[in-house]
Amino acid sequence: MNAGKQPPSFSFDLTRADGVVWSRGGKDSQFGERGTPAGFFIDDMEIADEFASRLPPLMADLVDIASAVHTADRLAVRTAELNSNWCRRLEIKISVRCAEMWNGALELGCIERLLGFLTEDAWQVSFVPRRDSPRGSEVQEHLFAGSRDRDVEVSLFSGGLDSFAGTADRASDCSKHLVLVSASPNPQQRARQQRQVKVLREQLTKQISHVCVPYGIHHGDEYAQEPSRRTRGFLFLILGGVTALLAGSSALYLYENGIGAINLPYDQSQLGTDNARAVHPRVLRKIGEILSLAGNQRFSIENRCIYKTKAEMLQKPAIDRVKSAIPYTFSCDGFPVRAKGRAQCGFCTSCLLRRHSLELAGLANLDSDGYLQDWKQPSFRPARHHLRGLRAMDWQVFRLEKCFSEPSLWQALTFEFPELQATADELSIANRGTCTDVEPGLTRLLRQHAADWRSFSALRLLET
């Protein structure tokens, strides 16, 4: 038995992007020791170009911090024999321009606690003065004015179905110039994002700019990597926030359905990887505080779809005008799954929620291919592991339905799902109100999801 096994410990020296030194359990190694270029990269030049401006030191630091944290997260492979061994201990050293400020007790503690909540790991972070040359985004002069002179609104644009649907709805009636911020680790994802933006511009409004930030690990496919990658949200939100600050804005917007955002546990057996918190209200608030520090102003991150289901997002009138781009969107937890013509797995909970929502919105015909495992094909024969996500989602709805029959509904919901109260508390803080202001929205969201679930065509697989 491994019940007493300690979480694996990792140490990363990320002070040089081109030479990452790291260790696991005291055994030193150097990333790239096989003779290939070693290190990680991020190109934020498009952010500076969009606003014809250079990144100030604190904002450039945030980009470096987010990139380094995500690199460590990817290289520190988890042990998952038991739930208790899923977590890790990570010690990382990062070079920054304003080391004294970031090493301050308040700032350092805020970052470590945020990363701990986001990944369910123990993080120890330290900062040293940066000695590398500045990036182009910090020094490049610009001849022409950028979007800063316009009335702009900045939002994240992941290329996922929620992001696309929410952006389309906003673009259909917004007079502002929309700046969409994407982070892309591979050409396939970047191409899909660009094709979606092209349709939005053609069908809804020309007032859209697309800022795409490439990032990754040099020759990353040659190294074992952690698949959960819980810090992707941290990286994306920081890039979006830095873009908004450079635009002179006090807010960053995103579009994520409420079921995915609060991400209540499906069952008691799931590992931490199934309980991602990338856009949890607490994460949005804490990253907003960090960005407020970097921008020397009050800054917030707002999820405009926190009380909507995915199906409701897809039922907006604007979606009909841009539905041709739906095949270019992606939702899979493991996208791309690296099988020719099959970019999405088909059976993770994200794929299942996607297909269910498209069915409800009458758009299933636009999502008929691209799945590694497709239960809609007559020849499909599910293995046991294919049904794990579906069973877990069905069990969660069963638990919700039991709560709906109780006289004290909110009390029953928070007893069954204690995480729901923490979510309500965070939304209350963000709204500067009380928990009673958000309880009706959350209960309506959960009722709608449970009512919709029973019509899902995949449920027939649980009867065989």
Please tell me whether the peptide bond between 281 and the residue prior to it is cis, using omega within 30 degrees of 0: no
Comparing 369 with 290, the larger pLDDT belongs to 290
- For residue range 301-333, list pLDDT tens digits in order: 999 999 999 999 999 999 999 999 999 999 888
pLDDT greater at residue 33 or residue 185: 185
pLDDT at 191: 94
pLDDT at residue 376, as a whole number: 87
pTM tops 0.85, yes or no:
yes
Would you list the domain boundaries of the chain?
336-374, 378-464
454: buried, middle or exposed (CB in 10 Å: 19+, 13-18, 0-12)? exposed
Burial class (CB in 10 A: 0-12, 13-18, 19+), 304: middle
Q: How far is CA 44 from the centre of its chain?
A: 18
pLDDT digits (tens, 9 = 90+) for 149-174: 678 999 999 999 999 999 999 999 99
Q: Residue with structure tokens 């002070």?
A: 15
The torsion defined by the Cα of 129, 131, 133 and 139, in degrees rounded to 10, comes to 30
Distance CA(371)–CA(374), nearest Å, equals 6
For residues 14-34, average pLDDT: 71
pLDDT at 149: 60
- Say how far apart CA 153 and CA 247 lie, in whole Å: 9
pLDDT digits (tens, 9 = 90+) for 353-389: 999 999 999 999 998 778 888 888 888 888 888 889 9
Crossing angle between the packed helical segments 161-171 and 187-203, to the nearest 10 degrees: 20
CB distance 407 to 459 below 8 Å:
no
Give percent of the chain above pLDDT 70.
Answer: 88
Looking at every residue in the chain, the average pLDDT score rounds to 88
Q: Which of 344, 356, 365 is nearest to 390 (CA)?
A: 356
Tell me: pLDDT of 445 over 80: yes
- Hunting for tokens 């990452």 — which residue is that? 20
pLDDT at site 31:
60
| Strands across the sheet containing 21-24 | 27-30, 21-24, 9-14, 89-96, 122-129
pLDDT in tens, 405-425: 999 999 999 999 999 999 999
What angle do the packed helices 161-171 and 349-360 form, to 10 degrees? 40
Out of 13-22, 218-227, 267-276, 332-341, give the one with best mean pLDDT.
13-22
Q: Which amino acid is at 275?
A: N
| Gap between the Cα atoms of 124 and 91, Å rounded | 5
Is residue 203's pLDDT more than 60? yes
